[in-house]
Amino acid sequence: MQSTITTAHGSGGTATSRLIADVFMRYFHNEINAKMADAAILNIEGKLAFTTDSFVVKPLFFPGGDIGRLSICGTVNDLLTAGAAPRYISAGFILEEGLPLDTLHRVCRSMSETAKEANISIVTGDTKVIEGNGGMYINTSGIGTLQNAAISFDTAQQGDAIIVTGNLGDHHACILSQRLSLNNTIQSDAAPLNGILEALTSNQLNLHGIRDITRGGLATVLNEIAEATGLSPVIEEIKVPVAEDVAALCKILGLDPLYMGNEGKLVLLVPQEQAAMAVAAIKKAPYGKNAAVIGTLEAQAGVRVRTRLGGVRMLAALQGEGLPRIC
């Protein structure tokens, strides 16, 4: 019979020790966590960026990723948007009774591989077991170090170009397709974006603010940028990159890619004269090939979209939950 997680695994006793040795240390082993101390000792100097995120996605595995990859990427990308180099990350697991042990192995292997790709070390962790139906949840908290000043929207200026690093809506469309058992080829974009940030900083670009486009989608992020800068993002509908399959799914379900989440896309502001260079740099980096300038930061008048035929519409932040509509 297949081995599963039981309450004993969360008791702190021998079953917990075995779980740590057989699973967590197998995938996460490094010099820092090998000491098996209650707290990891980190040797860091200078300014730090610190962030936390929790992951509750269902299903746990989906085309293009899994909850483990997501739990590393989400926190890593948050650090990157501040201009920090990701260094250390924690992994807190809440496991439901009945979770197949094999599932935990697969998730941890994926976390280990993604952490390696994102150049971050998993240095501490925790496990709790709760009643349930074999689900799992992960919290990760990450620390990054800042070489230069933190990137912030304080430096944004009227006329700045708005750039997105790739196609919108992939992750959301992928998860929705899985939940609705739709057969299509849509893959999640879950990815750590270290390469894109390196490309931007090594080209000496003036980054006037970066956000990752997760829940709420680009529309919500642009509204947050408007609030932070006191200026108005205005985007061109036809310049917004959306994959054909995602666009088709949205059309059928009555969803708008501007309100759909990603797990590997950034929106950033750069001075207009550096826009072409920034896009060229992002395109050469991993996960950046569909980058595009989509608009401009204009004087305050609300977040707007210029439509294909020259109309204009306001773009509000996501309200409530995006649901498929009737017709």
Partner 1 sequence: MKIDEVISFLRSCQTPVTIMEVCGSHTASILKNGIRQLVSPSIRLVSGPGCPVCVTTASYIDALIELALLKNHTVLSFGDMFKVKGSTLSLAEAKSRGADISLMLFPLEAIHLAQDNPQQTFIIAAVGFETSSPVYALLADQIVQKGIKNIKLLTALKTMPSILELVCQTESIDAFLCPGHVCAITGTKPFEHLACIHQKPFVVAGFEAEHILAALYEIVVQIKENRHTLTNLYRSVVREAPQPKANRLINQYFESGSAYWRGIGEVENSGLYLRREYEFLDAGSKNLRAEDFPANCRCADVIMGRISPQACPLFAKQCTPESAVGPCMVSAEGACGNAINS
| Residue 257 CB, nearest approach to partner 1 (Å) | 12
Count of alpha carbons within 13 angstroms of residue 247, beta-carbon side: 8
For residue 144, the cross-strand partners are 49, 86
| Residue 311 CB, nearest approach to partner 1 (Å) | 2
| Residue 310 CB, nearest approach to partner 1 (Å) | 6
For residues 97 and 129, the answer to whether their CB atoms sit within 8 Å is yes
| Residue 11 CB, nearest approach to partner 1 (Å) | 31
CB-nearer residue toward partner 1: 47 or 306: 306
CB-nearer residue toward partner 1: 1 or 325: 325
For residues 209 and 96, the answer to whether their CB atoms sit within 8 Å is no
CB-nearer residue toward partner 1: 156 or 294: 294
Where do contacts with partner 1 occur on this chain (CB under 8 A)? Answer: 180, 253-254, 256, 305-316, 319-320, 323-327
Residues counted in the chain: 327
Q: Is the peptide bond before 59 cis (omega within 30 degrees of 0)?
A: yes
Among candidate residues 208, 205, 242, the one with its CA nearest the CA of residue 225: 208
| Residue 301 CB, nearest approach to partner 1 (Å) | 13
CB-nearer residue toward partner 1: 113 or 256: 256
> Which pair of tokens denotes residue 133?
């139906």
CB-nearer residue toward partner 1: 26 or 251: 251
CB-nearer residue toward partner 1: 117 or 236: 236
| Residue 255 CB, nearest approach to partner 1 (Å) | 9
Spell out the residues 6+ positions from residue 163 whose beta carbon is closer than 8 angstroms to its own: 267, 268, 269, 270, 275, 278, 279, 282, 291, 292, 293, 294
Any idea what the Cα angle at residue 39 is, between residues 38 and 42, rounded to 5°?
155
| Residue 305 CB, nearest approach to partner 1 (Å) | 8
Q: What is the dihedral of CA 208, 264, 166, 147, to 10 degrees?
A: 30
CB-nearer residue toward partner 1: 14 or 183: 183
Residues 289, 155: Cα–Cα separation, whole Å: 27
For residues 325 and 202, the answer to whether their CB atoms sit within 8 Å is no
